[in-house]
């Protein structure tokens, strides 16, 4: 299985869930600051036109592919990885370990209502997880100082960020040296908490895969010249 895939000049990790969890646990043992970001097709599209997002992705410790369509477009699909991605196995397995190992968790949402919803979802799925704080930040806000201060006062082991791109990338790029935590996990505005996707959203995914495949093919042709 290919461990790194190139999506039109953007390198993404393609580790299995088990491999990624082993890497994260090693970083915890070493007490080193680690960043993870889930990457979907919308993030990739933004990265093609936004140099800051592309740079952030390149500097993230580990990327987690959050959309099986990315592997499909890159001709790197496998049944194991497709199943893991579609069932969001990394998210659930990581939080299961955070709960079991009594790690302190902090939630960062786009607004107060979303942060509360995300906290409730996590508590329902992992009743014993130790959520020690939460806050939110407006998508158009450039004032991150209060949020950073709140995180540092709480001093969590893990920050779970549900910010959408490009706010997510902007936040971690500007504040990665200021945040007091061991692990930053950028989940994004992932809708896996929603119920079964609608026909329209499934159709959009199919179109996105075709567009991404075309972008990859055009990039490879340019590289061959």
Tens of pLDDT, residues 101-154: 999 999 999 888 899 999 999 999 999 999 999 999 865 456 788 899 999 999
How far is it, in rounded angstroms, from Cα 225 to Cα 6? 18
pTM here is 0.86
Nearest Cα neighbor of 161 from 143, 188, 142 is 188
How far is it, in rounded angstroms, from Cα 162 to Cα 148? 15
**What are the boundaries of each domain within the chain?**
4-224
Q: How confident is the model at residue 199 (pLDDT cuts 50, 70, 90)?
A: very low
- What DSSP state is assigned to residue 164? P
4-224 belongs to CATH 3.40.50.2300: yes
């Amino acid at each position: 299985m290919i461990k790194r895939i190139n999506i039109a000049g953007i390198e993404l990790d393609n580790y299995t869930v088990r491999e990624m969890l082993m890497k994260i646990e090693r970083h915890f043992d070493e007490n080193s600051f680690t960043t993870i970001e889930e990457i979907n097709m919308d993030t990739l599209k933004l990265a093609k036109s936004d140099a800051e997002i592309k740079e952030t992705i390149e500097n993230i410790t580990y990327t987690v592919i959050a959309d099986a369509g990315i592997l499909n477009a890159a001709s790197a699909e496998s049944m194991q990885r497709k199943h893991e991605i579609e069932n969001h196995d990394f998210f659930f397995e990581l939080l299961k370990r955070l709960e079991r190992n009594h790690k302190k968790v902090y939630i960062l949402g786009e607004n107060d209502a979303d942060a509360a919803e995300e906290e409730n979802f996590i508590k329902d799925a992992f009743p014993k997880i130790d959520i020690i704080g939460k806050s939110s930040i407006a998508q158009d806000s450039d004032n991150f100082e209060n949020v950073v201060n709140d995180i540092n006062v709480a001093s969590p082991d893990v920050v779970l960020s549900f910010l959408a791109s490009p706010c997510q990338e902007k936040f971690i790029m500007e504040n990665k040296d200021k945040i007091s935590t061991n692990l930053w996990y950028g989940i994004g505005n992932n809708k896996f908490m929603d119920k079964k996707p609608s026909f329209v959203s499934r159709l959009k995914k199919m179109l996105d895969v075709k567009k991404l495949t075309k972008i990859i093919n055009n990039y490879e042709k340019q590289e061959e010249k």
